[in-house]
Structure 1
Amino acid sequence: MNETVICAVGNVATQPVFRELASGASARFRLAVTSRYWDREKNTWTDGHTNFFTVWANRQLATNAAASLSVGDPVVVQGRLKVRSDVREGQSWTSADIDALAIGHDLARGTSAFRRASRPEAGTAGTPSQPEPSWETPPPADADAQQRPEPATVT
């Protein structure tokens, strides 16, 4: 099926609202996406129009988003765009929602510290946890020998 998948870069506009439902965890927050352009007359960058999206996250993404995001955080959201229109009480409205597939902090605008989400305990669903590999490059073998002191000999 054809779906419109978008990537939106903006700021978290509302504190994420987390709910534990019968179908699993769900979270939502508003995302503000403001265009910027170079104003030649003022010789400066200027904010353009701001679009607001309601971002919906489910399952583990919802849990992690609720624990990680705060108002004002710069984020990148990838997901399926859903545009809905309706008429209520004589008023027509349109909403643009993003059913999130991935959410992350925008590292072009700051730093972030990643913490792996806890996994289910051993014996439950999922794979057993494995230790993280060591990504450090070991020192050369001869450099290691030069740094170690000689063992003392006892006579």
Structure 2
Amino acid sequence: MTDTFVTVQGWLGNDVQVRQAGDAQVASFRLGCTPRRFHRRTGAWVDGPTQWYTVDAWRALGENCRDSLRRGDPVVVHGRLEARVWTNSAGAEVTTMVLEAASVGHDLARGVSRFRKAARVETATPEGPSVAAPAGEQAAAPAA
């Protein structure tokens, strides 16, 4: 099966919410994207209808989203797009667009940002110290 990867620019509609999914954490937020077009006849910019996406970011990416993003931030998200169809309480079929993020960042066309590398965590094993891994990820044992 071929996955559809897209890059979407928009604004966070809510603060990042983190939940546990099995043994992994997933962070979710809503991303609003409003297309803007120049209307030649009137000489004015016109906003189109806002499209809303649910963005899911897993594990370390999700933790970094939680620590970095706030409601109203302009962001760029690249990931796998999926349409989820479900039935609401009124019995109507609803389609929700979900973007499983592969990468997320502030939109630097809208402002400035400072990058800070995530802290690395050292873990000990019976064989000795292990290789450091980014916070939120399992550290690997050193090669023998």
How does the TM-score come out when normalised to structure 2? 0.82
Higher helix share: 1
For structure 1, the residue ranges without an aligned partner over 5 or more in a row are 130-155
1:112 alignment counterpart: 113
* Alpha-carbon spacing, 1:60–1:125, altered in 2? closer, same or farther (3 Å): farther
Answer yes or no: is 1:82 the counterpart of 2:87. Answer: no
1:56 alignment counterpart: 56
* 1:128, distance to aligned residue in structure 2 (A): 7.7
* 1:21, distance to aligned residue in structure 2 (A): 4.3
* Alpha-carbon spacing, 1:106–1:100, altered in 2? closer, same or farther (3 Å): same
User: Larger Rg: 1 or 2?
Assistant: 1
* Amino acid of the structure 1 residue aligned with 2:107: D
- In percent, how many aligned pairs have the same letter? 38
2:38 alignment counterpart: 38
* 1:104, distance to aligned residue in structure 2 (A): 0.3
* Alpha-carbon spacing, 1:125–1:77, altered in 2? closer, same or farther (3 Å): farther
State how far apart, in whole Å, the 2-side matches of 1:125 and 1:57 are: 26
* Alpha-carbon spacing, 1:34–1:125, altered in 2? closer, same or farther (3 Å): farther
Answer yes or no: is 1:8 the counterpart of 2:11. Answer: no
2:94 alignment counterpart: 93
* Alpha-carbon spacing, 1:120–1:7, altered in 2? closer, same or farther (3 Å): same
Answer yes or no: is 1:23 the counterpart of 2:23. Answer: yes
* Alpha-carbon spacing, 1:82–1:128, altered in 2? closer, same or farther (3 Å): closer
Higher strand share: 2
* Amino acid of the structure 1 residue aligned with 2:53: F
Aligned Cα RMSD in Å? 1.9
Aligned residue pair count: 129
